[in-house]
Amino acid sequence: MLHNDPFSQMGFKINVILLTIAPAFLSAGLYIMLKRLVTFFGPEFSRITPNAYAYIFVTSDIVSIILQGAGGTISAIATEKTFLDQGVNIMIAGLVSQVVTLMIFAGLCVDFYRNARKNSHLQPACRRQFAGSLKFKLVVGAMTFSFLCILTRCAYRMAELSEGWGSEIMRKEVDFIIMDSV
């Protein structure tokens, strides 16, 4: 039985599970934003169609959420360490898939940016003007910052769970509060 482990309490585990899957919903917003940018600046500068961004990346995040949720559920109801560890491993697999998805997305973003910028002379003057505006730069900056926060958060969560429930990283309250509340 795991009843001696303070981290085996269901309430704590449910909080960690919900905090683990939250970035998937935030990243979906980034995928939709890129879809809109590709549509606006020109699908011809993207390796995939605008709709493919939503379909591919949201589907990948759904798979990630399912893995993380399944692993979290197994961990939350586990009464033996073997099942607890299996649940953690499934959660980590979901986080790894989320990080891989984010990295592929980042690569496609950079590729689109380079292609659109290299061919900016093909854009109408109004689009070039919009791309140079402070509002647009702030939006792109916010998207980049959000992406980096989500990626950092997922990497932190993988490290946190890599040693199982109650790991040393999980017990560092200041780090936990910073990484989970920001």
To the nearest whole number, what is the mean pLDDT of the chain? 84
In the chain, % of residues over pLDDT 70: 83
Residue 11: pLDDT over 90: no
Enumerate residues 6+ apart whose C-beta is below 8 A from 6. Answer: 12, 166
Q: CB of 79 within 8 A of CB of 1? A: yes
Is the model more confident about 5 or about 137? 137
Q: What pLDDT does 3 receive?
A: 47
pTM, full prediction: 0.80
Residues 6+ apart with CB under 8 A from 125: none
Using 50, 70 and 90 to split pLDDT, how confident is the model at 148?
very high
Closest CA to 157 of 99, 108, 107: 99
Q: Residue 122's pLDDT band (boundaries 50, 70, 90)?
A: confident
What pLDDT was estimated at residue 155? 85
pLDDT at 67: 92
Contacts of residue 82, Cβ cutoff 8 Å, sequence gap at least 6: none
CB distance 74 to 105 below 8 Å = no
Confidence band of 104 (pLDDT split at 50, 70, 90): very high
